[in-house]
Structure formats: C-alpha cells, structure tokens
Amino acid sequence: MDKLRMDATGISGARWEMPGEPSVDAIRAMVVQAHCTPLVASLLLGRGISAQSAKSFLSPSFNELSPPESLSGISSAVELIVDCISRNGLIAIYGDYDVDGITSIAILSRLLNLAGARHQYYIPHRIDEGYGLQIPAIDQLADQGVNLLITVDCGISAVEAVQHANARSLCVIITDHHEPPAALPSAAAIVHPRVDSPGAYPQLCGAGVAHKLAWALSRRLCQSQKVSEPFRQVLLEATALAALGTIADVVPLTGDNRILVKYGLKALGQIHMPGLTALAELAQNQNGRVDGEYVGFSIAPRLNAAGRMGHAREALELLLSDNPTRAAELAAELDKLNRRRQQTDRKITEQAHARVAAMPALPSAIVVYDESWHAGVVGIVASRLVERFARPAFVFQQDGDLLSGSARGLPGFDVHAAIEHARHLIISGGGHAAAGGVKLRLENIAGFIDCLEKFAASVMPRGGFTKTLSIDAIMKSDEVDAQALHEIENMAPFGAANPRPRFLIQDAVIDSPPRLIGASGRTVALRLRVGNQVFDAVGFGLGTHATILKRGAKVAAVVEFKPAGESRFRKLQFRLLDFALRSSDPPAACPSLHEQMHKQIHEPINEPTNETVNETIHLAAQEVIQG
C-alpha cells in the first residue's frame, strides 16, 4: 500500500507519513480470516500483509519454518562434518565478533559438544585483525592441526583466504548471509540463503543459517527426522541463541526470522544457560518482559560490548559457560565494558556532530575520521549521524596511514552499492544495503569522499534525503486504552520490518513539566493528558526540545504504546517519538482511522473511495499542525 505524505513535520524535523486506509472489504476479509480485531486488521493491511497470510503472521507455527534442506549445500556440509567426526578430526568454527557471530559459534559448539566432536573456535579481534576470514588466522589453525574449518556469519567474500586454506589442506565450509560476490570462494560447501537456494527464506542472519545447519546435522546424527531428547534440548537452546542473533542483527522479522524470534524468546525462559541468566540479572528488566525490545536494547549491547571494547571471546565464553559463578563474573565484566562503551560513544558522537556542523554545507554523504576515535564504536556513531543529519555516514578510526570504519545508510542510499562504487579506492569493504565496513589508505580519502558524494548525489531525491516518520493510524483520546494495547501486542514480536505500531494523537496536553533523564540529558520524561487519562511518556533524543514543552501546552504527539509489566491489566505507557505544538484553538474534529473503520464495518454505508479517505487524512494532518 502506498504511503500518504502528510503536510506535517514534527519538532524532530521528520516528515510524517501514513498509509492510505485499506478498503472496507479488505478489513472485513482480514477480520474473518485472521480472527483479529478491526484495529489489528487495519494495521496489518497498512503493512502490506494480506488476509491470506495474516493468521500465520499473528500465530506462526514452528512447523512453518522452512526445512534445512532448502539451503543449497547444507547436505554436503553435514556429510563433511559427520566424516570429520568419524575420523576424530579437529573442527574449527570461525565467526564474527558481533552478537550474530558469537551466537552462531555457540549454536554449533554446543551441538558438537553433544556429538563428542573435537572442536575449537576462533574469533578475530575487531581492531587488531578486523572482520572476516584472515590468512594469518588460517595459518595458526592449520598449525594447530585443524582438519575442517567452518565459518559462521562471514566468509562468503573470502576468495583469497579460502584459496590459502585449501593450500594448507584445510577443508572449508562457509556459512554466511552477507551479500555474495560474483565470484564465490572455492569452499568444499557453501551454505547461504541467497546462493543457489531459491526455496530458502532469503533474509536469515548468520545465527539463522547456523540454526539450519545444527538442525540438519542433528537429524543426520540421530538418523531420524525426529531427534532424540538431548539433541532436542540443544536445538531448543539453538533457537534461543538464533533469536538473539536475529534481533541483534536487525534483519526483517518476517518468515523464518519471525518464527525463530517468537519461539526463541519463549525458549529463553525454558533453557538452562547460566550466562544468559547472569546477564539478564544485570540488565535490570524493569518490566519483567522478555521481548525483542528487551533483547535488542539490554542484552545485545552487553554482548556486543565485548567485541567493541575488548575481545568477543568473553561474550562467547558467557554463552557457553555452565558454571554459574564464572557466568556471573563474565556478565559483570560485559556490563562494565558496556558502560565504558556508552561513555566512549557519547564522547565521539559529540565530536563527530561538531565536525559535521562546522562544514560549510551539509554534504550528500558524511565522511569523518580521527586518530583518537575508538574503532569499536564508529558504527554506533555513524548511526547517530544518520539520525541527526539525514545523510548516509562513514565514520573512520585513523591508525597512521590506514582508515578503518563503518558506514550506515538510510532509505534511498544502498551502502553496499556505494562501497562497490568506490571499490577501486579501498583496501577492503563490504556489507549490505543498510550498513557496511571499509578499510582504505589515508592518501585515498579525498578521492573516496568525492566518489561517495557523486554516488549519493545520483540517488538522492530532489530536495535531499529527508527523515520520515511512518505513522500507522490516527487515534482519538477515547480510543487510547488497555484494550487497544492488548490488541496491538498480538502483532509481536516487534523489530525490523514489523516495528511497534505508531499512532498520531491529535489532542494531547502536557500534564507535568518535562524532566531530562539519562547521562546525556537527551531523553525527556513527562506526563501526557489524553482525554480524561494521564500517561507516563518518555522521548528519547527529544531532550533538546524540553524547554518548549510547558505544562498545559497542546501537542499533536506521535507515540508508541508500551506495556508496563507482565500483568494482563498492564499500565499503559507512551514512547514519545515526535510532536508538534498546536495553537490554543482546538482543530476541527478529525475522524481517526479507527473511528472510520468501525463505522465502515458495523454500519451498512456506502464505501468511500481511496481518494476521499486520503483527502480526509491529509486535511486532518493540516488541521493538527495549523490548529
């Protein structure tokens, strides 16, 4: 469904947009086939989910996971592993240093432990070695007597490294999900959802691919489609670990990913993994809810902190530990590293913001670098620059004449394509549409910036890249209640490609003076009065606008509903995403999507045309802002 652009821009500078309202027939069909409420039906249709697929989306079955055999090369990989185990060979699992990488290693390591296989793992140091399969590491593993090398969450572009491994008599299995190059490595087996696998779900992350391999290997070792209880338990743990990797890697929560996350989050409460238990105790889950947002904002950053500020093997040891005392020690160390990461991130972000603000004009693509910046957080800083300036950002740490850094994109700017456009100027680099990594020499930075500028200019819309804030529906004050929250929660898990629904509340009032919270002072806490109800609200990144949020001020607010606690009768909270001040005169009554939808479904009236509905929403937005 096409997005409807609104003549409304919030205080954040983002342009508000909404989908056009779905037809009455579509809503009715969705309600009947998916057994959902009209509100949820409208939200699903606005996200392009059909009535035929809605029931599976709302209540996915684990049996709907695509089989491991949908991945080309997985059967060959399994036989190579079984053969190595039978010969008492030594297996090495080589993975990336982020959450996706370490959960992938943990999945295979736990399974190989159960299978009695001789194995070890290798994670490169983010700063000293860099991303991907490295030739010195291959030599080290070969010297240690490794027979079979399995990559996870990396390797698909390592043509030269795999060639070197072959020369050292290492058998190589590549499992990865990153963008495959035209020329693939000469590995004994490649397991990748977008390499010769037309029947596979294409958006798996590294841990999702490792989960498929573990599943197929368990069946082969048990010589049955139904695995024995010990293997079932390991696969339950693998599902929980795959959920962590999937959430942390911000891949779309659709298809297999949605199923893995939904059941993996449930599995987190059923498995015995002292490391995750210890980490959860430190993460202070105030709402008591183990959901995608809790994992993404509390658990994943602590696991990632090891690779950013130290060595990722500490995070992996945490995931593999069966000793509660050791797990508690590791969790405390990760928590400490995460606090240090936060401090470093804030400092570098402020410096990078100042660099961009001092530029004569905002470039089409931002490129900044400094010798003092920590390589472990440049990706986070790049994300913050994108959010602040609505431009793709490349942030580098300089080490002598070498620049190593991370890139983040935004809709309309493909990071992987941009890196390929500048391939002749870099030492190495790769990624996907939203993010990537690059290494180049300082002498080439001017040419690199010029190349990126030209690429960005060629894809930038007229008027430049603009921040947009997608709104799912307009809600009136009497529609904001716990029942609406309960209905919305049926759409969980939320994440990439399925964000928590966002609503425009046209007639909110600031009920209490805002307070700045958090170490950076960028977060504002306040209370919003909506009709006769008052709700707590938190606005991340809106702290700079706190001075205009006077008590009694009338605002049009874009919010997400957030439950507080596990109780069925949850208290409703808001996350304030954006707002616009309204004049003192109330706008004319604007029909909400929910209100219009209720009329259309429950009253036999003539169906309006899409043009009529879109015009209503468009005028409503103008009235909200103009007062």
Q: Please, what is the Cα angle at 342 between 352 and 102, to 5 degrees?
A: 110
Residue 110: how many CB atoms within 10 A of its CB?
Answer: 20
465 pLDDT tier (thresholds 50, 70, 90): confident
User: First CA to last CA across the chain, in angstroms?
Assistant: 29
In DSSP terms, 156 is beta-bridged to none
Task: Answer for the pair 161, 133: CB distance below 8 angstroms, yes or no.
Answer: yes
In the chain, how long is the greatest CA-to-CA distance? Answer: 81
In a domain, 478, yes or no: yes
In a domain, 114, yes or no: yes
Task: Answer for the pair 307, 131: CB distance below 8 angstroms, yes or no.
Answer: no
Can you spell out the DSSP letters for 538-605?
Answer: EEET-GGGGGG--TT-EEEEEEEEEEESSSSSPEEEEEEEEEEE--SSPPPP---HHHHHHHHHHS--
The pLDDT, as a whole number, for residue 592 is 47
Task: Answer for the pair 505, 624: CB distance below 8 angstroms, yes or no.
Answer: no
**CA distance to 138, 150, 181, 418, 432, per residue, from 184 (Å):** 18, 16, 6, 21, 17
What percent of the chain shows pLDDT beyond 70?
90
Task: Answer for the pair 144, 89: CB distance below 8 angstroms, yes or no.
Answer: no
**Strand runs labelled E in 85-201:** 90-95, 118-122, 148-152, 171-175, 189-191
Whether 347 has a pLDDT exceeding 70, the answer reads yes
In a domain, 314, yes or no: no
Give the integer Cα–Cα distance in Å for 304 and 294: 15
DSSP annotation of 443 = G
As a whole number, mean pLDDT of residues 70-85 equals 98
The pLDDT, as a whole number, for residue 601 is 38
Question: What backbone phi and psi angles, to 5 degrees, belong to 434?
Answer: -95, -20
On whether both 417 and 499 belong to a single domain, the answer is no
In a domain, 519, yes or no: yes
Question: 542-593 pLDDT, tens per residue?
Answer: 998 999 999 999 999 999 998 765 544 456 789 999 999 986 444 333 444 4
Give the integer Cα–Cα distance in Å for 306 and 298: 14
By residue range, what is the domain housing residue 508? 3-24+472-626
C-beta contacts of 398-401 below 8 A and 24+ residues apart:
398/369, 398/370, 398/371, 398/373, 398/442, 399/371, 400/442, 401/441, 401/442, 401/443
The pLDDT, as a whole number, for residue 608 is 33
Question: 166-222 pLDDT, tens per residue?
Answer: 999 999 999 999 989 999 999 999 999 999 999 899 999 999 999 999 999 999 999
Give the integer Cα–Cα distance in Å for 210 and 110: 12
On whether both 416 and 363 belong to a single domain, the answer is yes
Whether 284 has a pLDDT exceeding 90, the answer reads no
Give the tokens for residue 53. 């697929």
Give the integer Cα–Cα distance in Å for 244 and 248: 6
3-state SS string over 475-509?
A: ECHHHCCHHHHHHHHCCCCCECCECCCEEEEEEEE
Task: Answer for the pair 100, 118: CB distance below 8 angstroms, yes or no.
Answer: no
273 pLDDT tier (thresholds 50, 70, 90): very high
For 385, the 3-state DSSP assignment is: helix
Whether 606 has a pLDDT exceeding 60, the answer reads no
On whether both 68 and 165 belong to a single domain, the answer is yes
State the pairing for strand pair 473-475/393-399: unpaired
On whether both 590 and 537 belong to a single domain, the answer is yes
Which range among 91-100, 200-209, 412-421, 427-436 shows the weakest confidence by mean pLDDT? 427-436
**CA distance to 15, 124, 511, 522, per residue, from 340 (Å):** 35, 21, 36, 18
Q: Hunting for tokens 């991130």 — which residue is that?
A: 345
Which range among 1-5, 371-375, 452-456, 506-510 shows the weakest confidence by mean pLDDT? 1-5
In a domain, 281, yes or no: no
Taking all residues of the chain, what is their mean pLDDT, rounded to a whole number?
Answer: 89
Residues 6+ apart with CB under 8 A from 516: 522, 523, 524, 525, 543, 546
| CATH number of 86's domain | 3.90.1640.30
The pLDDT, as a whole number, for residue 218 is 98
Give the integer Cα–Cα distance in Å for 351 and 368: 10
Give the integer Cα–Cα distance in Å for 273 and 278: 9
In our burial notation (b when 16+ CB lie closer than 10 A, e otherwise), range 247-263 reads bbbbbbbbbbbbbbbbb
As a whole number, mean pLDDT of residues 381-410 equals 96
Q: Which of 212, 228, 244 is the last residue before a domain boundary?
A: 228
On whether both 402 and 541 belong to a single domain, the answer is no
The pLDDT, as a whole number, for residue 564 is 67
On whether both 135 and 13 belong to a single domain, the answer is no
485 pLDDT tier (thresholds 50, 70, 90): confident
On whether both 479 and 620 belong to a single domain, the answer is yes
Can you spell out the DSSP letters for 175-211?
Answer: E--SPPPSSPP--SEEE-TTSS-TTS-TT--HHHHHH
Q: Please, what is the Cα angle at 586 between 585 and 592, to 5 degrees?
A: 160
464 pLDDT tier (thresholds 50, 70, 90): confident
Whether 304 has a pLDDT exceeding 70, the answer reads yes
Give the integer Cα–Cα distance in Å for 608 and 600: 9
Q: How many domains does the chain have?
A: 3
Q: Quick one: which of 254, 301, 153, 289 has its CA closest to 495? A: 254
Question: 518-553 pLDDT, tens per residue?
Answer: 877 889 999 999 999 999 999 998 998 999 999 999
On whether both 450 and 518 belong to a single domain, the answer is no
Whether 498 has a pLDDT exceeding 70, the answer reads yes
In DSSP terms, 474 is beta-bridged to 504
286 pLDDT tier (thresholds 50, 70, 90): low
For 623, the 3-state DSSP assignment is: helix
The pLDDT, as a whole number, for residue 477 is 84
For 7, the 3-state DSSP assignment is: strand
In a domain, 435, yes or no: yes
Task: Answer for the pair 454, 468: CB distance below 8 angstroms, yes or no.
Answer: no
pTM over 0.85: yes
On whether both 524 and 439 belong to a single domain, the answer is no
In a domain, 56, yes or no: no
462 pLDDT tier (thresholds 50, 70, 90): confident
| CATH number of 488's domain | 2.40.50.140
On whether both 71 and 218 belong to a single domain, the answer is yes
Q: Quick one: which of 234, 296, 287, 223 has its CA closest to 265? A: 296
The pLDDT, as a whole number, for residue 570 is 53
Q: How far is C-alpha 588 from the chain's CA centre? A: 39
On whether both 72 and 127 belong to a single domain, the answer is yes
The pLDDT, as a whole number, for residue 492 is 94
Residue 384: how many CB atoms within 10 A of its CB?
Answer: 21
On whether both 404 and 513 belong to a single domain, the answer is no
In a domain, 288, yes or no: no
Give the tokens for residue 317. 């040891």
Q: Which of 228, 254, 273 is the last residue before a domain boundary?
A: 228
The pLDDT, as a whole number, for residue 20 is 81
As a whole number, mean pLDDT of residues 319-344 equals 97
Q: Angle of helix 324-357 relative to helix 300-309, nearest 10 degrees?
A: 70
Q: Quick one: which of 219, 172, 141, 169 has its CA closest to 73? A: 172
DSSP annotation of 153 = S
Considering only CA atoms, give the Rg of the chain.
25
Whether 391 has a pLDDT exceeding 90, the answer reads yes
Give the integer Cα–Cα distance in Å for 306 and 105: 15
Which range among 181-195, 234-248, 442-456, 569-583 shows the weakest confidence by mean pLDDT? 569-583
Task: Answer for the pair 109, 93: CB distance below 8 angstroms, yes or no.
Answer: yes
Q: Which of 160, 194, 228 is the last residue before a domain boundary?
A: 228
Whether 89 has a pLDDT exceeding 90, the answer reads yes
Task: Answer for the pair 601, 31: CB distance below 8 angstroms, yes or no.
Answer: yes
Residues 6+ apart with CB under 8 A from 59: none
